Structure 1
Amino acid sequence: MPKAFVVGHPIKHSRSPLIHGHWLKAYGLDGSYERIDVAPVDFGEFLRGFSARGYAGGNVTLPHKEIAFSAVDRRTARAQRVGAVNTLWLEDGLLWGDNTDVTGFMAHLDASLGAGWEQAVDTALVLGAGGAARAVVAGLQDRALKRIFVANRTLSKAEDLVRDLRPGSRVALETSAWEALGRVIPHAQLIVNTTSLGMAGQPPLALDLAGAPRHAAVADIVYVPLQTPLLAAAAQQGLRTVDGLGMLLHQAVPGFERWFGVRPEVTPELRALILADIEGAR
């Protein structure tokens, strides 16, 4: 019976067991998926020993993604670009790492905005410079955009991201000071928040969208609450919005296929299940 996991610290908030449990039941598969709380000091030992405990692989969440990147034997090209690993599996005795946040974000963007959305987007603005921002920028680099701005309150982190992802990029990568966002927003047909601002318990993301292009789209990777203050402000401006839940659902697809041998679908039923759980936890 294949066994998989999500590992993090803390981990009790993770919805991944609910997602994978739904798919195991839906496809009639004999398998399991569980949360495992591992402190950073013990994470290296966990990676060396999980196969002996019968696990085929698993997901990695905060704060272990960068450590996992350094610890695996092999990485996919997109994990190498992002510098973080969120999906693990064993292959020919080697520990592999991938970053499915890249494909998860882009799959949800495609599903939300429709095929060919990038034809109307020359410039994107990504807010934040952490691991999620790196995954978003890496995904957008593969599309027919001309320019991506990265803005962060600590400008040096945005500069590090651009430096790391610029080599070989067909898309121009530039940084923007947080204080200069008012000059960038009028040129951005896609705006993506990858920070924690707007998340339940965090301050809202105060962004003046009045100058945004009329056909712009605004995405937020925060999914609690589902409609963040940023998305509410975008809707008031008549802009298209993309919530954060779809990224969570779509990033889970490649790992499930890798461990259990079936490529699952992100369905309205699954989305409703996770939404109900989020609402029930409030």
Structure 2
Amino acid sequence: MRKIGIIGSSVSNSASPEFHNKKLAGNIIKYIPIQKQSLTKSQFVFLMKGLVAANVTSPFKDVAYASADWLTPEAIRCKSVNLLYWKRNLLIGDNTDTLGFGAELLRRSISKKGTWLVLGSGGAGRACCDALLAHGCNPMLVSRNKKDKSSRFTLLNYDDFENYSENVFGIVNATPVELPYDNFSMFKNCIYAWDLNYKKKSKFLMLAESSGLNTIDGMGMFKFQARYAYFRWVL
């Protein structure tokens, strides 16, 4: 039986196996979780040789990017890969996070304007910024690390983003870490709070909701990016 995997350091919380095994029902393909704490590029490529394709989650999106033989435009722009699949003996690196986030922006008819703070400069955060930029918004990455991997986006740290708080239209939490403040009062004109986590309502969203913001979890984005991944495998 051929196998498709999800590779990450904590894949037990992922909804991907259940979602994709339902989609793949009737096919001779099994979707399996593959939990690893560390992988070098050579180890990653060796692992992929036993799979038809793989979703990639934290902390391996960067090594997946380095392991690909060919990259899609989305992966190049985000400098991150969350989907790998074989095509004509080449390992293709793709990024369906940016497609999934962008599709959810459109589905919700979110205004094509405004400044968005994206918390976390990892692969998911960069993908959200890429989608927001394409949507006509002004994304700013907020990170503890000043070494940005993409000069396309404004980079802030947690100490200086207060200077932009009055102009913020939306906030995206693209990390497991909660917003380092006890309320949203500084974001006087903020409309949306979006958390990419989807298993349960986060403290981040509960706090935003109590402050009167429109809240969005990551389930819609997950479903869109999962569908994009599925079509990559079957086409």
Identify the TM-score tier after normalising by the shorter chain. 0.7 to 0.9
Query: Going by fraction, where is helix more abundant, 1 or 2?
Result: 1
Assess, with a 3 A threshold, how the Cα gap between structure 1 residues 95 and 190 changes in structure 2: closer, same or farther: same
Residues 199-246 of structure 1 show CA distances to partners (whole Å, capped at 9, x for unaligned) of xxxxx642532243456111111234x322221222122221111222
Partner amino acid, structure 1, of 2:62:
E
Aligned residue in 1 for 2:70: 74
Aligned residue in 2 for 1:229: 203
Structure 1 unmatched runs, 5+ = 167-172, 199-203, 262-282
**TM superposition score normalised by structure 2:** 0.87
- SS of corresponding position for 2:197: coil
1:81–1:165 CA contact under 8 A, matched in 2: no
2:102–2:135 CA contact under 8 A, matched in 1: no
Aligned counterparts of 2:95 and 2:85: Cα–Cα separation in 1: 12
Alignment of 1:108-127 (within 5 A): 108-111=104-107, 114-115=108-109, 117-119=110-112, 121-127=113-119
TM superposition shift of 1:76 = 0.5
Aligned residue in 2 for 1:258: 232
1:3–1:57 CA contact under 8 A, matched in 2: yes
Alignment of 1:114-263 (within 5 A): 114-115=108-109, 117-119=110-112, 121-145=113-137, 147-154=138-145, 156-157=146-147, 160-161=148-149, 164-166=150-152, 173-198=153-178, 205-206=180-181, 208-214=183-189, 216-224=191-199, 226-261=200-235
Aligned counterparts of 1:143 and 1:32: Cα–Cα separation in 2: 35
TM superposition shift of 1:175 = 3.1
Aligned counterparts of 2:201 and 2:12: Cα–Cα separation in 1: 23
Aligned residues: 235
Aligned counterparts of 1:35 and 1:78: Cα–Cα separation in 2: 24
Partner amino acid, structure 1, of 2:120:
G
Which 4+ residue blocks in structure 1 deviate beyond 4 angstroms? Answer: none
2:183–2:211 CA contact under 8 A, matched in 1: no
Structure 2 unmatched runs, 5+ = none
Q: Which has the larger radius of gyration?
A: 1
2:140–2:156 CA contact under 8 A, matched in 1: yes
Aligned residue in 2 for 1:270: none
**TM superposition score normalised by structure 1:** 0.73
Residues 169-188 of structure 1 show CA distances to partners (whole Å, capped at 9, x for unaligned) of xxxx4333422333322101
Aligned counterparts of 2:41 and 2:67: Cα–Cα separation in 1: 10
Assess, with a 3 A threshold, how the Cα gap between structure 1 residues 90 and 11 changes in structure 2: closer, same or farther: same
2:165–2:187 CA contact under 8 A, matched in 1: yes
RMSD: 2.5
